[in-house]
Structures are given as C-alpha cells and as structure tokens.
Amino acid sequence: MKRIEIRKPDDFHIHLRQGELLKMTVPHCSAYFSRAVVMPNTIPPIDSASTLEEYRRQIVEIDPGFNPLMTFKLLKNMKESDVRALKKAGAIAGKLYPAGATTNSTDGITDWRDIAGLLKVMEEEQLVLSIHGEDPSVYSLDREKAYIPEILEICRKFPGLKVVFEHLSSAEGIQAVAEGPDNLAGTITVHHLLLTLDDVIGGALNPHNFCKPVLKGPEDRKAIQKVVLEGNRKFFFGSDSAPHSAAKKQEGAAGSYSAPVSLALLAEFFDGCGKLPMLEDFVSRFGAEFYGMPLNEERIELAEESWIVPEAYGEVIPFFASKVIRWIVKN
C-alpha cells in the first residue's frame, strides 16, 4: 500500500458559510488544511474590520487550532480607510466579484475602474486581489474568457498588486495566467481538474456538480491538468468548496461541497498520473509562496486505501457523494 507524508496543505479559496453550516465546514476544512483563504460573500458580506473580526472569532471558536486567512468583499461604496482598517484587522486579500457572477454577488462590482482607488490602496498595503474572473453579461461558457482582458489590465495598472484569477475553468484562462505577468497566479479546484460539463448535463442532470464558473469541455480540463502536472508554480489549490442546504440546491444554487474529499481526490489524481510526489507543491507550497507566507510545518499522511464518501453530511450532499475514492487522509 502506497503512503505519502506531506506538509499539511492550504486551501486558497473556501466558502465556510455561516451559522449551523459553519460548525460543519470548519472541522471538515481544518482536518485537512492548516490554513484556508476564507471567502467573504456571507450575508451580510465581510466588508469592515468589525465584520471580519467577528467572522474570524466565530471560526476560531469552532476550532482554535485552525488558521483562517481572512478576506473582505470589495464594494463600490467602500472607502480607502476601510481597506486600511481591514488590513490592520488581519485581512490578507480583498475579493472582487463582478456583479451577478455568482452566489451572493448582486452587490458586486460592475467595472473595476469604479474601485481603482481601493485597488491602489490594496497594492500599497500588500493585500492580494482575489478575482472571480467572469463577465456575467455574456454566454456562460465564454464568461471567463471575456474577463481575461480586465484581469491583465489590472495587473498592468497595479504592478505591485498580487492578483489571483480564482477557480480557473477554461483553456484560455489557464493560458492567460501561464503567459501573464509575475503578479498574476490562479487557483484550481478539484472539480475543474477532474470533471467536464458532461458531468452536469451529459447524462442525467447532476445538480451536485453544478458550480460557477460552470465546468467546461475536455480541452479545457486538459489544459488545467497540464499546468498542474507540469508543476507550474503559478497554479495552486483552492477548493471553492461551497456547501448549500438541500433547499438552496433545490432552487438551483451553484456550488460543490468538496472540503471533505478534495485532498483525497487530489492524491488519487496525482497518483493516477504517476506524479504523486508533485502533490505537495500544488497543495502546500506554491500558494504560500505566491501569497508570501511561510510554509506549514505540520505534516499529514495519505495512504492508498479506498473509502466511500458519505451520501450526505447533515443535509448537505458532498462532492463525489457515495462514490469510492482510492486514497485517504490518515489523521
């Protein structure tokens, strides 16, 4: 039986949600990840030092050993002093959601030029800019591609600002980051790495694989897998784990709850490609290096051992529910 021990990973993009869901998501995340970049699209959003501090308090109360990397949501009416206060309160990144692009984003930004002053302050304060890179005004399969020029212009205009193109889903997005400036990197989810749109609409409709950006075609998945397996350090893991209640899923909400399965699935993927030794860089090194953070010292062990993903955690149906994964995390 194969085994591997690696630095405990980081998840550079996660939705921990609120209330009852938080009590489930925090332990599921902290079991596998030392740190996680916590997305700010709560209701109401994390948009001030006080809301950030309160959200962090709630997270750490559930698991005092977990290290949440806090973010805030960029809003049109935000002041530059708010950004500085958020930095002081411990924010490491600000998230730009184009208005209407995804869950809880109706209050997002229509044009990033409207918040250029805030981006300038973020550059000064060494805050990372995290971007949901989709233009929601175009056809869904073209939304990521359509947003690339915006991201490249932001990178040019703010050369000292680190920019993360989140949850890359298209060959064009991958290429833009790979060939883009040094201040641009990208996160990759386990669902975009492993699946295509066929896993949503190819057979029976599967709402549990429905996420934003929507899964793309085989050529896009191939491009994603290629940069990951090459060990390109501009690409690192961010799960975009995004649980919804059964009721929300019933209403068509986008998002897969991958936190409990993503690390095991990544081990299976790397091993299946004969690249198991490269897993550690993707999940435990490249992201920390881009963000400028020390690597984790804690270690975690994985083994080639099959298990069946539960059909549900409470009322949340996880990614890969009821399926077999051939690797397991040994806690």
Contact residues for its own copies, defined by CB under 8 A: 139-142, 196-198, 200-207, 210, 214, 217-218, 251-254
CB 83 within 8 A of CB 122: yes
Nearer Cβ to its own copies (254/328): 254
Which CB atom, from 246 or from 308, has the smaller least distance to its own copies? Answer: 246
Please indicate whether residue 240 is annotated as part of the active site: yes
Query: What's the CA gap between 13 and 165, in Å, rounded?
Result: 11
Among residues 47, 240, 271, 281, the one annotated as catalytic is 240
Provide the minimum distance between the beta carbon of 132 and its own copies in the complex, in angstroms, as a whole number.
15
Give least dist CB 143 to its own copies, A.
9
The CB-of-251 to its own copies minimum distance in angstroms stands at: 6
- Dist. CA 64–CA 30, nearest whole Å: 10
Quote the least distance from Cβ 149 to its own copies, whole Å: 20
Q: With CA atoms as reference, report the closest residue to 228 among 262, 182, 179, 178.
A: 178
For its own copies, which is the closer residue by CB, 162 or 192? Answer: 192
Tokens of 161: 């600002």
Complex with its own copies: residue 240 or 280, whichever CB lies closer = 240
- Determine the Cα–Cα distance for residues 205 and 79; give it in Å rounded to an integer: 44
Residue 103: name the closest of 71, 136, 78, 54 by CA. 136
Task: Write the DSSP assignment of 216-283 as a string of letters.
Answer: --HHHHHHHHHHHHTT-TTEEE---B----HHHHHTT----B-TTTHHHHHHHHHHHTT-GGGHHIII
Shortest separation between residue 193's beta carbon and its own copies, angstroms? 17
Question: 72 and 47 in contact (C-beta within 8 Å)?
Answer: yes
In the complex with its own copies, the residue whose CB is nearer, 252 or 294, is 252
Return the active site residues. Answer: 240
